[in-house]
Structure 1
């Protein structure tokens, strides 16, 4: 039986049920967490920092620069998509239709990937050859109807459910609360991976999960347990749970994917949405559950803008790992919370009372704790040991210098006597 690694810390907390467990083509290990080589490099970096070294190589500086750019792109695209969805619902009260419309844009993932392959690859392959090679991700037989139903359809359902619950929650609570509560999905990923994937037990991540649950309770208390806000918070927590289930099941069933395989998988999810989910918004329209009239009044600009921002967010998350560190990409998600808070402060009637601020800080702290690598305690012990050794060496050197002074002066006196 194939054993799956469950290191989902860096990227599996992203605010979307996207495939974030990609790996660089040609690598054998999944790029979903810091592996031995990356851990060793980070440990060496910490050691140099402890010794006071500040040397950075050109490639590392370039990677950090790309990381800052990617983090800002993640923050801007996610916060922009959230705010634009809230704005769309003022004139278009149809969260499931918006989910279906945005998910349909996933079909362009593989064409975009192939366009990049043609522009950058040294050995270009035809579209048919590239497609067949990426289809091996679904099994030796490729993308058969059976593989489509067993390996793609369940994830399509989870994808749609996650986005719908999140968008539906935005109608009931402000975007700041929704974005910070969705960050709890990282804690849910850890708990599920610990139970299902037999992930390594880490006390600090258990503490982070407890902080996430405490933040959810405090966020509910901040609005006085009103039914409207409680329902909205429950919807966001449900969205975070289904997102975590999506990622853990993907890791359990499919493992990890190259960029081409990830692009094809996401395009297949878009095709599943067009083929099998299209009937749902049609039924909701004719039953007047999600009814808009007249048809010309639909805010197509908002719908397309939201879809483009969400598509950009998913592309950056899946393919940004090639140019930067996963942790920096996750930090971009955390930065979207204060951005949403600033926008809500000027565009809505949100009240940042003490309980709400503490809840946001607690959930954010739990999110950051979950970004710690598995070997963080070993690095911390080594860092403290080096600092202690350095402090002991400094007094010894000072004492040696003080003791050598009188000896030099004594040796100097006979020379003057002559």
Structure 2
């Protein structure tokens, strides 16, 4: 007969066998404990930790796929923004050889803004699960202007000034194209990013950043050097003045929009631009008529107007505004801004091929300085902290092999030697 210890052992084994045969699950704590013990005994058997590792790997792969998709969309967006902006600039330059009417072209291109909200509503019908009628969607987007919606007072105080700034920006830009080449115009217009920072710092009390002040100085220096490159002739000075004024109007538009209206969603932005285009057609249509009869912007009959060029300029500007305002839905805003600055070398290649520009050293340095300042303005606000963290990670990776080779006795001395360089870099 077995003794008491043998009986207890046999009883426990019987209970274990019964539980296994009946399909009962063991407590979670025991499972984890047995898994850990099994891994320690068997040299790492599969358990909870490998499952967690596989879950993390799947998440990392999913996040990486999303980022890669967004980056690919960003590359396509950069090419589209660059092509539309450079194409509209070059085509406008060609249009003025047959149709010298910059304000009429501005009015015609701004009228195309009426298509923004209809196109947005078509996208809303195709994508949104809750389909609204055009009237319902219009009323919902009108809440952007306040609780009362779009009233006459709101229109004349919050919409009409931005419409005037929009027209002035495009009109001055086209006037500059009549005076100087497209490379200088596109490069100087990149200064609007610096003007936006200066106005935001002064008006909106945004955070002061030394690197952006340097970028603004680069922009101003590039403007002066660009003027010097042409020898301060009246024709070139007027063209540079027009494009700098256009960049200033663009910066004022962006800063005032943020201060008065704040940030807008896609539907609200589409409605706002549609109202600007409709107001341009209703209230500004008399100006091209007056300019025509006063022979300021005179053209022959309607048959003499190069409609293909006009529609091409208006269509490319419309596509550019769509990409700039709604491209952030599929890619990063920085990549969209890169498309604008990349239009400068594209315009330079076209001007060089058509022999409309002479690249001397001063002009080349001015263009590079302006583009460098534009790129510096694309840095995020916490770029210095990111750089410090990246430097710390790289330094820690360099220190790990050295600590392993030096042994435990010299690790303290090695860490002490690394501290002064980090503190000096931080300060």
TM-score range, shorter chain: 0.7 to 0.9
Gaps (5+ residues) in structure 1?
A: 1-52, 404-418
Asked if 1:242 is matched to 2:228, the reply is: no
Q: State the partner residue of 1:191.
A: 198
Among candidates 307, 310, 323, match of residue 316 of structure 1:
323
Is the contact made by 2:170 and 2:246 (CA closer than 8 Å) also made in structure 1? yes
CA distance in 1 between partners of 2:356 and 2:155 (Å): 46
What is the CA distance between 1:295 and its match in structure 2? 2.5
SS at match of 2:185: helix
**Which residue does the alignment assign to 1:214?**
221
Between the aligned partners of 2:271 and 2:399, the Cα distance in structure 1 is 58
Shift of 1:392: 1.8
Q: Which runs of 4+ in 1 moved over 4 A?
A: 53-56
CA distance, structure 2, for counterparts of residue 212 and residue 203 of structure 1: 14
Match of 2:371 in 1: 364
* Partner Cα separation in structure 2 for residue 307 and residue 171 of structure 1: 17
Q: Name structure 2 gaps, 5 residues minimum.
A: 1-59, 411-427
C-alpha distance in 2 between matches for 1:331 and 1:207: 19
Match of 1:41 in 2: none
Aligned length: 350
Matched, 1:154 2:158: no
Cα deviation code 1:197-237 (max 9, x no counterpart): 00000000000000000000000011111110000000000
- Matched residue, 1:389: 396
Q: Which residue of 2 aligns with 1:262?
A: 269
1:17-416 map, 5 Å? 57-399=64-406
SS in structure 1 at match of 2:179: coil
- Alpha-carbon separation, structure 2, partners of 1:254 and 1:84: 33
Give the drift of 1:54. 11
Counterpart for residue 40 of structure 2: none
* SS in structure 2 at match of 1:57: helix
Higher helix share: 2
Q: Deviations over 1:317-360 (max 9, x none)?
A: 11110000000111111111110001111123300111111001
**CA-CA distance at 1:165 after TM superposition:** 0.2
Q: How far apart are the structure 2 equivalents of 1:159 and 1:225?
A: 29
Which has more radius of gyration? 2
Compared CA separation, residues 221 and 69, structure 1 to 2 (3 A): same
Q: Is the 8 A contact 2:212 2:377 kept in 1?
A: yes
TM-superposed deviation, 1:383: 1.2
Give the Cα separation in 2 of the matches to 1:355 and 1:125: 57
Query: Whole-Å Cα distance in 2 between the matches of residues 349 and 202 of structure 1?
Result: 38
Q: CA shift at 1:140, angstroms?
A: 0.8
Q: TM-score by structure 2 length?
A: 0.80
Q: Distance in 1 between matches of 2:128 and 2:295?
A: 50
Structure 2: distance between partners of 1:91 and 1:318: 31
Give CA deviations for 1:235-284 in whole Å, capped at 9, x if unaligned: 00000001000000000000010100000000000011001111111111
- Residue range with higher mean Cα deviation, 82-91 or 387-396: 387-396
Deviation at 1:146, TM superposition (A): 1.1
- RCO higher in structure (CA 8 A, sep ≥6): 1
Deviation at 1:164, TM superposition (A): 0.1
Partner-residue secondary structure (3-state), 1:77: helix
**1:32 match:** none
Q: Report deviation, 1:114.
A: 0.2
Between 1:142-151 and 1:238-247, the stretch displaced more is 142-151
CA distance in 1, matches of 2:63, 2:180: 45
Provide the C-alpha distance between the structure 1 equivalents of 2:407 and 2:297, rounded to a whole number of angstroms. Answer: 82
